[in-house]
Amino acid sequence: MYMNNAKKFSALIAALVAAFLGACSSLTNLTPEKVPENASRTYTLSMSAYINDGSVVKDSIKPYIVIDEKIIPMREVKDFKEERIYEYDYVMPKGRKDAKYYFLVTYEVENNVDGVNKERKISSRTVYTLEPQRRYVVDLQNERGPVGTSISILGRGFDKLDKVIVGGVETATEYVSRSNLNFVVPPLESGRNYDVEIQGTKGRLWVGQIRVDTADMAVSPEVLEMDGGDIANMIFNIGFTAPEGGYPIDVKTNIPSSVIMDEVVVPAGRSSVSVPIKAAAEGKGFLYVNGLGFREKTIPVTVKASDSRGEVMGEINAMLDESQDKAKAEKTTAPKTNSDKNVKNKTEGEAQKDKQKTQAAK
């Protein structure tokens, strides 16, 4: 009787230990949460089995998938035999959009108490849903680029109403095909990573992340040399189409009394703008050009003193010289004219005396 009680107690302990160890066993679903739709409607469902339940009888493990109310055996993945990974190719019936499933594994453990192997089983704690995605992203072709860079998104299920959102900012999007979208990196602070999403009629689809690198803005001329009162045009080119509302450019100077300039904004739909800049007081310094996503550009500026006073004095001196030349010319011709008069008067006087002599002789 004592032996029977001892055997029963040992069996009870073994059962409790087996139950405890069995509780540590688990099944893990390795199937991607989102599975792209394919033309054959065939999808591979896979799982891994972790069994920590005493001495498992070799070759007794039998994996199953329970789907469409059927218990179907799964095959072992040969390359991962030690990891106990299993899979099953499920063909989605026509007209179906999803399917519910879970995993089940049965196995045997050795029982040293009574010498009879015990069968055990474990199953998934969750019922999963297979729902093939008709709209999905395969690849973000570039993971970084400066402001204005064109980047492609490859996938499936895109349409003409889709818009790409980068860091919460809607950017210029080009619909190429059902499997390709292009977008332009919008003006954002450089040196940071931003989420990329597609906004469409069916909601948002996360694409990935992109890092915005620093860009260089084209400014012409790159050096300014002006005289006071002069006006020159400065061209700013950002290299991409400005979004709705325009793209503002911040221009500051350390010689505010020397240059006069309006605010700089590249109009929406354009990539460049020309802005007049007027030279004022004499000075020498810089223009500091900044834009969101761009490296600061420094433009040397030199404003010379106005030459207008010198020009006026030059004109006055020219007028004085001309007046003096005329006076000199008149002075040179005046004696010649008086001499001619004297000669004429002398001739007339002599003629008169000759007349008087002739009359006296008579």
Residue 163's pLDDT band, with cuts at 50, 70 and 90, is very high
pLDDT per residue as tens digits for the range 88-104:
999 999 989 999 999 99
> 15 in helix, strand or coil?
helix
Based on the domain organization, do 296 and 193 belong to the same domain? no
Tokens of 203: 């909601």
User: Are 17 and 67 in a shared domain?
Assistant: yes
Query: Is 147 within a domain?
Result: yes
Reported confidence tier of residue 22, pLDDT bands at 50, 70, 90: very low
Indicate whether 150 pLDDT > 90. yes
356 assigned to some structural domain: no
What is the rounded distance in angstroms from the CA atom of residue 282 to the CA atom of residue 152?
Answer: 51
pLDDT tens profile 65-82: 999 999 999 999 987 777
**Number of structural domains in the chain:** 3
- Residue 112 scores a pLDDT above 70: no
d(CA 32, CA 44): 10
- The pLDDT, as a whole number, for residue 58 is 83
Same domain, 100 and 142: no
Helix (H, G, I), strand (E, B) or coil at 171: coil
Contact 165, 199 (CB under 8 A): yes
Using a pLDDT cut of 70, give the percent of the chain over it: 78
- pLDDT, residue 82, reads 77
350 occurs within a structural domain:
no
Segments forming the whole domain that contains residue 157 = 136-213
- Burial class from Cβ neighbours inside 10 Å (0-12, 13-18, 19+) for residue 92 reads buried
Question: Are both 282 and 166 inside the same structural domain?
Answer: no
Asked which of 164, 188, 213 is the last residue of a domain, the reply is 213
Residue 220 pLDDT > 60:
yes
* Domain annotation covers residue 43: yes
- Tokens for 11? 């069996």
Question: Helix (H) and strand (E) counts for the chain?
Answer: 2, 27
pTM as predicted: 0.58
Q: Which of the listed residues 197, 213, 229 is the one where a domain comes to its end?
A: 213
pLDDT of the residue at 15: 43
| Model confidence pLDDT, tens digit, residues 301-314 | 999 987 654 454 45
What pLDDT is attached to residue 113?
A: 67
- In this structure, are 54 and 35 located in the same domain? yes
Predicted confidence (pLDDT) at residue 14 exceeds the cutoff of 50: no
Verify that 109 and 160 share a domain, yes or no.
no
Q: Is residue 321 part of a domain?
A: no
Q: Residue 343 — pLDDT band, cuts 50, 70, 90? A: very low
Q: What CATH number did the domain enclosing 112 receive?
A: 2.60.40.650
Residues 67 and 91 in one domain: yes
Nearest to 27 by CA among 156, 127, 132: 127
The first and second tokens of residue 356, run together, are: 């008087």
Return the pLDDT at 138.
84
Judged against a pLDDT cut of 60, whether residue 358 lies above it is answered with no
- 178 and 251 part of one domain: no
Q: What angle do CA 91, 92, 96 make, to 5 degrees?
A: 170
Q: Is residue 339 part of a domain?
A: no
**N-term to C-term CA, the chain:** 211
What would the pLDDT profile of 262-302 be if each residue is shown by its tens digit?
999 999 999 999 999 999 999 999 999 999 999 999 999 99
229: in domain: yes
Q: Same domain, yes or no, for 91 and 17?
A: yes
HSE, CB side, 13 Å, CA atoms: give it for residue 231. 5
Backbone angles phi, psi at 116, to 5 degrees: -110, 125
pLDDT at 19 over 70: no
Closest CA to 101 of 76, 131, 68: 68
Provide the 3-class DSSP secondary structure of residue 4.
helix
Q: Say if residues 117 and 75 touch (Cβ distance below 8 Å).
A: no
- Mean of pLDDT over the chain: 84
In this predicted model, what pLDDT tens digit does every residue of 185-202 receive, in sequence order?
Answer: 999 999 999 999 999 988
CATH number at residue 148: 2.60.40.10
Do 187 and 222 lie in a common domain? Answer: no
Residue type, 358: T
Q: Which of 42, 33, 32 is nearest to 88 (CA)?
A: 42
From 99, 130, 161, give the residue that closes a domain: 130
Co-location of 36 and 85 in the same domain: yes
Asked if residue 96 belongs to a domain, the reply is: yes
237 and 224 inside one domain: yes
